[in-house]
Chains A and B, each alone.
Chain A
Amino acid sequence: MKDTATEPLLGRSVERIEDAALVSGRGQFIDDLPVATGTLAVAFVRAPHGHADIKSVDVTAATRAPGVAAVITGQDVTRYIRSMTVGVKANVECWPIAVDRVRYVGEPVAMVVATDRYLAEDAADLVEVDYSPLTAVVDPVRALADDAPVLHQSLGSNLINERRFRYGDPETAFDAAPHRIGIDVTYPRSACTPIETYGVIARYEPGEDAYDITANFQGPFSIHAVVARSLQVPGNRLRLRTPPDSGGSFGIKQGVFPYMILSGVAARIAGAPVKWIEDRLEHLSASVSATNRQTRIEAAVEADGRITALDWDQIEDCGAHLRAPEPATLYRMHGNMTGAYDIANVAIRNRVVLTNKTPTGLNRGFGGPQIYFALERLMDTIARQLGLDRLDVIRRNLVPADAFPYRTATGALLDSGDYAAAMARAVDEGGLAELYARRDTARAEGRRYGIGFACVVEPSVSNMGYITTVLSSEERAKAGPKNGAQATATVAIDPLGSVTVKVASVPQGQGHRTVLAQVVADKFGLPLDAVRVLADVDTMRDAWSIASGNYASRFAPAVAGATEIAATRLRDKLAKVAASQLNIGASDVTFDAGRIGAAQNPDNSLSFARVAATAHWSPGTLPDDVGQTLRETVFWTPPELEAPTADDGINSSLCHGFIFDFCGIEIDPDTAEPRIDRYVTMHDCGRILHPAMVDGQVRGGFAQAVGAAFLEEYAYGEDGSFRSGTLADYLLPTVMEVPEPVILHHETPSPFTPLGAKGVGEGNCMSTPVCIANAVADALAPEGDAPNIVLPVTAAKLAPLIHGEEPEPKEPVPETKAEATSGGRKLTGEGRALVQASREDVWKMLLDPATLDAIIPGSHGVQKVDETRFKADVTLGVGPVRGRYKADIELSDLDPPNAVTLSGQAVGALGTGGGHGRVTLTDTGDGTEITYRYEAEIGGKVASVGGRLLDGAAKVVIGEFFRALARHCGGGAGNGPIARLRGLLNRIAKGGRT
């Protein structure tokens, strides 16, 4: 028996069978699917605070709004569900909606179900939530401090899990080594941000107590168990389906599952099917992101750069709740903590911390970017400190080619590779010598040009048991072993003898259907379009298991592999059927060009369809040992994926690709903008099934990594406010920012997968950010101590490093205080107004509610609570941006008629504001000069979407008040910052101080 005689489809870049529909607007994404008549829309009320207790939720007005079917609070939801499962042993609850406290901006607080999304949002605006704000903590190191605010009282602290690991003998290795070299690394938050947001369609059948949920979920389907448990139904009463098309995920759409629960409950309470399509503001503030991590990594190093031990100390920030499958980001790489290097001794301390940020989840690269940023920055530092060539340090430490399969210190079994050979080819074919020459030329001309390297092992096909490494071996023993990665595939034949493939791989654009058609068409000697493939899932009809789904780059190695096995089984049976009909031996049967025939005699053949359909039409004619040829379903789990060992060794993934990257980066001398001059990426992903798709994965991952390296950051203020709520703030790279990388391949097939393929989807998200950082470091400081590079590398961060100390102004500059953190800070400002009234009169006005009501722009009424406290209802804003706020104002430090401190808190639909200001009155002879300084914090929606403009807006609003006061007092020239600025500028124009 032999395979198809014509050129195989597998390994060729055939056109994708998905594309004709997608380029014609006939995709079937979740929001495109038809829904039942009467399906209602869901909108969420979300937390404006990073941390606050919920005192009350008043839904009265919202419930009465037009079109509203139900308004559902967190308390309501708890009557129908139980807390979601948490992946570590900890006394903590994890609800999909805030119950009595909000812990991140954007956390769901209430759901409105109405006839359409417009009306649902109208009603959501009417839900009144009374919060009692709490101090927030957003920095994971700060969250560990004794005096840090605690998010979950039941935990007692923000440290939800800590584990220490020891492999080999790291202490002795460190003692023996001549050098101990370490760095601290801060890895920020970013997310792969698919262009399609989350979507859920849910219905509930009370007669069967069953939920039917369609969501653009991506897996893993272990989450099905989490959702069913939370909804308090057996697994067979949660039917979970996915739409045929999904608009990108990159891990992110795993995080839709809390909304599957909430939508199910909403449908149940509303008594009608519901649909929720997440909007972009919701997505950016409250879907999921990758973890941010603080790492200390140290190496024991020989004089020649050989590393004998690593010591990791990682603080992982999982946000406000530890949602399944976290802390998987930390443990997915646990077998790979030595990267591509042969290092026998490793110590690890892992701490998982909760902060007032969005809960984290799957994200392309999943733990890899955080690990490799630390490890490869360390390699760069070692070369610098020892005065060695960077490539030599890498080469001396690589796992040798003859060592595969190679067991890493922490337990991974590296399946195959020849790292040194792949690296040598990259250096040669990628033109490193030329790049060095370009750097030399640039430096000779005084330009800043750097070259960076990164060396990465890319794991794929996750062991479903790796997450249990977070448990102690005693805890694991009690819970029972977890391991494996079931892949499923069904190949079926219909009565007309055509072939259908069904897999539970849930693609989000990776072209799974095309590759599986290639695999199966080759096997049966059929043309590509003779095979039909479905890759979406219906858990009530399809073969699936907890590992199903599209994550951990498992498609080519696992799903395509399982399909290969299923097709082979079916083919072998068909060969027997054909052999009996053709009167030849089964081993002489060939499958070619739509016919099944005798290898030796082409005229002795039957059409594939005829043989294939035999089991439908005349099952009695089948040879006895064939059984049926209708359908073959394969469940495949690789034996190499064992549960963690008693001493915490874990083969966290089945396959291990290899990547070696290098790049040249130049920094513009004037604008400090970094630019990639050339980027070379060498991949060994085993056998390549579809070259164009593999390159597509590389380019796509590279582009996302370029975004993470230069542009993207989920930024939070110290107060927990979220500052990157729009795509004008969270910056995804466009065609202008992404250069085309040079892609090279070196193929060493995996011995552990049916087709020899390994995953390739995530590698550049692991290698590229640190490769870029190393190049930037080289551009900034070719020798000596490495600068601390924190992503994203922006021109604003580089400017002080390349421009040096800033020239001071000759003319004194009005004080501009700014506490710059990553995007979040207090707004501060000051201003003056001249009024034609005495200090005493102004003083009286400031304390008189009637006057305040008259002069506060947009005031709808000021009430006096007592001598020093007022309540106001005001419309505030700039330009078209206006929102109505309820404000509490308090006067303190009264020094009549000279000075007073005003403090206030305001809450409205657009968010929250709080601050205090000192107002001073000075007699000018013909009136009073009012000066004021303020410090304010703004949170909620307006802070999330208007970050760029907040300072100026605060200034306008506060300035308006004093201008109105001046007008009320009978004119007087406003002497605001702008007028003053003009005066100063005129003086500069005339030549400086004179």
Chain B
Amino acid sequence: MKPAPFDYVAATDLSEALDALQEGGSDARVIAGGQSLVPMLNMRLARPATLVDITRIPELSRIEAKGDQIIIGAAVRQATLESWPDLADRLPLVRAAISWVGHTQLRNRGTVCGSVAHADPSAELPLCLLALGGTVTLRRRRKTRTVAARDFFQGMMSTDLAPGEMITSVSIPARKQGTGYAFREVARRHGDFAIVACAAIARPDGSSTLTVGGVADTPQTLDLPADTTGRDDRLNEFAWHLQARDDLHATARYRRDLVRRLGRTTLKEALSCRD
């Protein structure tokens, strides 16, 4: 279990990184925390020709609040966000979810944007980004674009990221007054990938949104009206239409059970914690 050989670029500014990515094309990959990528390198599932290390680019290591958006740079580690003093106030959903991301030893290296780029269907941070209506900012040498999270995630581990392109930041809308946020997850063990993860957002008017990870190829969203009549039926339809699958860790049936039940609990919690 040792990586195949690759070239390594420790970029010190963004243009170096973008040049290297452009040059490397589809055989080049960004490495930041490496907590998803290095296992794949070690198993030789991934064999990039070039790795571009972006963790030494100072401008990517910032968390900034701009108006109602929280902008998280591509080199910001999950642990850094976890200990960001404003997290509970500005991003309560992320705060609730982030301790479910692997283990502390992985969060100390892993980056927020790396998790987004990896787009594992069970991962918590892509789920939060999507649930909160966040965006992803992508750069290539001469072009910057911003993509809504719901368009960015295209399938299992598949995103809108093009060769030569990298994520420079994600932008997440901050907490809104009168809105409740809740996160719940079931995994085989503490710290494992979610079998089902639920993020619920309850708005002042009583309407709510449930976003579910771990079931479909990407996190999926269900909008619910304030009127709770028929809510269980809606959750049931939602559960079925996510086309859950059996795998080693859970059956499709169990995933549907969790969408119905954990979904309901998470929604209730979000509704009750509106401030």
Question: Interface-forming stretch among A524-532, A592-600, A880-888?
Answer: A880-888
* Cβ-closest chain B residue relative to A988: B237
Least Cβ distance of A910 to chain B in Å?
6
A948-991: CB near B (< 8 Å → 1, else 0) gives 11111101100100000000000000000110010011001101
Q: Check if B243 sits within 8 Å of A711, measured CB to CB.
A: no
CA distance A916 to B116 in the complex (A): 33
> How long is the Cα–Cα vector from A311 to B262 in the complex, in angstroms?
46
Q: Which of A127-135, A356-364, A806-814 contacts B (4 or more CB under 8 A)?
A: A806-814
Q: Which of B219-250 contact A (CB under 8 A)?
A: 220-225, 230, 233-234, 236-238, 240-250
Given A280-B1, A672-B257, A945-B45, CB of A796 within 8 Å of CB of B238: no
Is the Cβ of A125 less than 8 Å from the Cβ of B155? no
Set of chain B residues within 8 Å of A956, measured between Cβ atoms? 155-158, 217
* Residue contact A672 to B254, C-beta cutoff 8 Å: yes
Q: Mark A710-753, 1 if CB is under 8 A from B, else 0.
A: 01000100000001100011010110110000000000000000
**Bound complex: CA of A955 vs CA of B242, how far in Å?**
15
B181 proximal to A (CB < 8 A): no
- Bound together, the chains give a CA A882 to CA B158 distance in angstroms of 12
Contact A800 B241, beta carbon cutoff 8 Å:
no
Across the interface, do A734 and B189 meet the contact criterion of CB distance under 8 Å?
A: yes
Chain B residues whose CB sits within 8 angstroms of the CB of A810 once the complex forms: 233, 236-237
- Residue among A670, A877, A953 with the highest chain B CB neighbour number at 10 A: A670
Most central of A796, A823, A977 by chain B CB within 10 Å:
A796
Q: Digit string of B28-68 for contact with A (CB within 8 Å is 1, else 0)?
A: 01000000010010011111100000000000000000000
Which residues of B sit under 8 angstroms from A477, Cβ to Cβ?
Answer: none
Cβ-defined contact, A733 with B248, below 8 A: no
Q: Are A941 and B243 in contact (CB under 8 A)?
A: no
Q: What distance in Å separates the Cβ of B219 from its nearest Cβ neighbour in chain A?
A: 11
Q: Which of B52-91 contact A (CB under 8 A)?
A: none
Given contacts A733-B189, A956-B157, contact A985 B241 (CB under 8 A): yes
How far apart are the CA atoms of A737 and B222 in the complex, in Å?
Answer: 32
Assess whether B154 is interfacial by the CB under 8 Å rule: yes
Most buried by A among B154, B224, B254: B254
- Whether A992 and B230, one on each chain, are in contact in the complex, defined by CB atoms closer than 8 angstroms, is yes
B100 within 8 A of A: no
Distance of A643 Cα from B198 Cα, bound (Å)? 62
Say which one of A114-122, A462-470, A506-514, A548-556 lies at the interface with B.
A114-122
B14 within 8 A of A: no
Mostly helix, strand, loop or mixed at chain B's interface?
Answer: loop
Contacts of A799 in B (CB 8 A): 251, 253-254, 257
The residue on B at minimum CB distance from A806 is B253
CB pair B245 A951 closer than 8 Å:
yes
Answer whether residue A207 sits at the interface, using C-beta atoms and an 8 A cutoff: no
Q: Which residues of A contact B236 (CB under 8 A)?
A: 807, 809-810
Contact B45 A948 (CB under 8 A): no
Asked whether A909 and B246 contact (CB < 8 A) given A672-B254, A728-B193, A955-B155, the answer is: no
**B220 A816 Cβ-Cβ under 8 A:** no
Which single member of B4, B189, B195, B241 contacts A737 (CB below 8 Å)? Answer: B189
Interface string of B160-198 (1 = CB under 8 A from A): 000000000000000000000000001011111101000
Q: Which residues of B contact A989 (CB under 8 A)?
A: 222-224, 234
Given contacts A671-B258, A955-B155, contact A825 B246 (CB under 8 A): yes
Shortest distance in angstroms between A598's beta carbon and chain B's nearest beta carbon?
Answer: 61
**Beta-carbon contacts of B94-124 to A below 8 Å, as 1s and 0s?**
0000000000000000000000001111100
Q: How many residues of B contact A (CB 8 A)?
A: 70
Contact at A947–B157, with CB atoms within 8 Å?
Answer: no
**Any chain B CB within 8 A of the CB of A795?**
yes
A878 interfacial contact with B, CB 8 Å? yes
User: Is the beta-carbon distance between B4 and A122 smaller than 8 angstroms?
Assistant: yes
Contact with B along A190-217 (1 / 0, CB 8 A): 0000000000000000000000000000
- Report A-chain residues with C-beta under 8 Å of the C-beta of B260: 807
A816, B118: Cβ atoms closer than 8 Å:
no
Task: Check if B223 sits within 8 Å of A949, measured CB to CB.
Answer: no
User: Which residues from B are CB-within-8-Å of A883?
Assistant: 45, 47
Chain A residues with CB below 8 A from B254, complex form: 672, 795-796, 799-800
A809 touches B40 (CB 8 A): no
- How far is it, in angstroms, between the C-alpha of A280 and the C-alpha of B39 when the chains are bound? 12
CA distance A947 to B246 in the complex (A): 10
Question: B189–A731 contact, CB under 8 A?
Answer: yes
- A670–B240 touching, CB < 8 Å: no
Contacts of B225 in A (CB 8 A): 991
Tell whether, in the assembled complex, residue A796 and residue B249 are in contact, meaning their CB atoms are under 8 Å apart.
Answer: yes
A residues within 8 A CB of B192?
Answer: 728, 731
- Assess the B155–A952 pair: CB atoms within 8 A: yes
Q: Determine if A818 is an interface residue (Cβ-Cβ < 8 Å).
A: yes
When the two chains form the complex, which single residue of A121, A945, A953 contacts B156, counting CB atoms closer than 8 Å?
A: A953
Q: Which of chain B's residues have a CB closer than 8 A to the CB of A977?
A: 217, 243
Chain A residue, CB-CB nearest to B27: A882
Verify if A879 is at the interface (C-beta below 8 Å from B).
yes
A11 within 8 A of B: no
**Are B248 and A992 interface neighbours, CB within 8 A?**
no
B137 contacts the other chain (Cβ, under 8 Å)? no
Contact of A981 with B46 in the complex, beta carbons under 8 Å: no
Contacting residues, chain B, for A984 (C-beta < 8 A): 241
Q: Say whether A992 contacts B155, CB under 8 Å.
A: no
Residues B1 and A670 in contact, CB atoms below 8 Å apart: no
B10 within 8 A of A: no
State whether B155 touches A981 (Cβ < 8 A): no
CA distance A955 to B236 in the complex (A): 24
Chain A proximity of B111: nearest CB distance (Å):
15
Contact A125 B44 (CB under 8 A): yes
Q: Which residues of A contact B157 (CB under 8 A)?
A: 878-881, 949, 952-953, 956
User: Which A residues, 565 to 600, have Cβ-Cβ distances below 8 Å to chain B?
Assistant: none
Which residues from A are CB-within-8-Å of B262? 670-671
Q: How far is the CB of B271 from chain A (nearest CB, A)?
A: 17
> B9 within 8 Å of A by Cβ?
no
The answer to whether A881 and B45 have CB atoms under 8 Å apart is: yes
B147 within 8 A of A: no
B2 touches A (CB below 8 Å):
yes
Determine whether the beta carbon of A882 is less than 8 Å from that of B237.
no
* B248 touching A715, Cβ below 8 Å: yes
A841 interface residue, CB < 8 Å from B?
A: no
User: Please, which residue of chain B has its CB at the minimum distance from the CB of A814?
Assistant: B243
Does A670 contact B261, Cβ atoms closer than 8 Å? yes
Q: Which residues of A contact B140 (CB under 8 A)?
A: none
Contact assessment for A988 and B234 in the assembled complex, using a CB-CB cutoff below 8 Å: yes
Q: Is A673 an interface residue (CB 8 A)?
A: yes
Q: Which residues of the partner chain A approach B4 to less than 8 Å between Cβ atoms? A: 121-122, 125
Q: In the docked arrangement, what's the CA distance between A813 and B154, Å?
A: 21
What residue in chain A is nearest B252 (Cβ atoms)?
A: A818
Query: B237–A811 contact, CB under 8 A?
Result: yes
Bound CA span A729–B250, Å? 12
B256 contact set on A, CB distance < 8 A: 806
Closest to B186 in A: A671
- Residue ID in chain B nearest A946 by CB atoms: B45
Residues of A within 8 A of B191 (CB): 734, 736
Nearest chain A CB to B224 CB, angstrom units:
7
Top 3 A-B residue pairs of the complex, sorted by shortest distance between their CB atoms = A952-B156, A879-B157, A809-B240
Q: A799-B251, A981-B216 are in contact. List 10 more A-B contacts (CB 8 A).
A: A117-B2, A280-B1, A734-B191, A794-B250, A799-B253, A879-B118, A910-B44, A941-B45, A959-B155, A988-B222
Q: Which residues of A contact B (CB under 8 A)?
A: 117-118, 121-122, 125, 279-281, 670-673, 711, 715, 723-724, 728-729, 731, 733-734, 736-737, 794-796, 799-800, 803, 806-807, 809-811, 813-814, 816, 818, 820, 823, 825, 877-883, 909-910, 941-942, 945-953, 955-956, 959, 977-978, 981, 984-985, 988-989, 991-992
A-B contact pairs, 26 of them (CB 8 A): A122-B5, A125-B44, A279-B1, A670-B261, A670-B262, A671-B258, A731-B188, A731-B192, A736-B191, A794-B249, A806-B256, A813-B241, A816-B243, A818-B252, A820-B251, A823-B248, A825-B246, A880-B46, A881-B46, A949-B121, A949-B156, A952-B157, A956-B155, A956-B156, A981-B242, A985-B241
